[in-house]
Amino acid sequence: MKQRAYTNELADEDEDDVPLPKLMSDLDRITGTRCGRCEHTLCGHEGLVAIVLGQAARPLCIACLAEGLGTDASELAAGVFAHVRRRDCFSKACSVASEREGFGAGVAPVCVFAVAAIASAGELEPGSGAAADRPAATDRWDAGDKGCGELVLELFMRLKAAPAGTVLALRATDLAAPLDIPAWCSLTGNRLVYAAPPEYLIAKKES
Amino acid sequence: MAGKFCVSLTHAKEDGDRATVAFVVANAAAASEKETLVFLSTEAVRLAQVGYADQIREEGFAPMADLMKNFVAAGGKIFVCSPCFKKRGLDEAKLVAGATIVGGAKLVEFLSDGTPCVSY
């Protein structure tokens, strides 16, 4: 993938709006498929990022896209969504993705920005999320929309009771979870192996 | 990881929102392996009575009774201000699990090494 000042190029190249049916068809095709590099499952917003950057044929997640472009993941996410907001067609597609995933209109999609922030902070290396490299989950917990103290308290109790070597696959849809879960892991020493909100993989620390 | 954390609460049923949030934050601290204390004074001492917390259920949060039970199960401690308790004619034979009646000196002791405290 060549390096480019993508926002400038997009504004010059794509003067006409992409017809919405074609855009939605591409988005529907991509949503729920895996990143071509690390096998992270792409949400609608990540699918839109791939389409905007001309990667619809082989979509990648935001972390892998950023690495390929040699740019910072958070800056890439911010730049792409600034462009999305300027374009009617992309804005509409983004609204549909947001509605499907339970985000309010105008709210930055946490699914992309939180993962980008984790990648930017160097805590999650692109490609290291490859399924083959990841330890297999030994336990699963769907926390639903539980958040704040209630989420981490139950997480704490579950991991405390779990045997050594436990790798917990957590699903948490709370909007703050992408920030709270990494903070909690850092405070307690349990290892955040992988994060692709709302999915997280946490390895219980050794005693 | 070592570290202590204190939550000071002065409300009960008359401000169920604040009372609930105080225990949610206390749970976050306990879950983060801080040695956590909830200090109840003025109206909040009513929460230390068995059955009282059942009256508080704020939308979007677990019921207060569950929050308090989970807090204690995770290792949290509850201190109840003695003069506030007596002033309200409450019954020390009916204290919730994890609660101890104390005076101000125990709060000062807990905080005197620079332990942070958030107040509700």
Q: Which of A113-117, A184-188, B73-77 has the lowest mean pLDDT?
A: A113-117
Q: What is the mean pLDDT of residues B73-79?
A: 97
Mean pLDDT, residues A29-48: 86
The pair of structure tokens assigned to B3 is 């570290």
Contacting residues of A for B19, CB less than 8 Å apart:
none
Q: pTM of the predicted model, to two decimals?
A: 0.64
Contact A153 B31 (CB under 8 A): yes
Among A75-84, A161-170, B31-40, B56-65, where is mean pLDDT lowest?
A75-84
Instruction: Say if the Cβ atoms of B30 and A153 lie within 8 Å.
Output: yes
Residue A40: the pLDDT is 79
Distance, CA of A167 to CA of A144 (rounded, Å): 19
Q: Touching check for A189 and chain B: CB below 8 Å?
A: yes
Interface test with B, best of A145, A146, A150 (most B CBs within 10 A): A150
The pLDDT of B79-101, averaged and rounded, is 96
Nearest Cβ partner of A187 from B25, B32, B74? B32
A161 contacts chain B (CB < 8 A): no
Q: In angstroms, what separates the C-alpha of B4 from chain A's closest C-alpha?
A: 13
What pLDDT does residue A127 have? 43
Contacts of A153 (CB under 8 A, 6+ apart): B27, B28, B30, B31, B70, B71, B74
C-alpha A33/C-alpha A168 separation (Å) is 23
C-alpha A28: how far from its chain's center? Answer: 17
- From the list A148, A150, A187, the residue facing B33 with the nearest CB is A187
**B31 close contact with A: CB closer than 8 A:** yes
Confidence check: pLDDT of A192 > 50: yes
B97: pLDDT strictly greater than 90:
yes
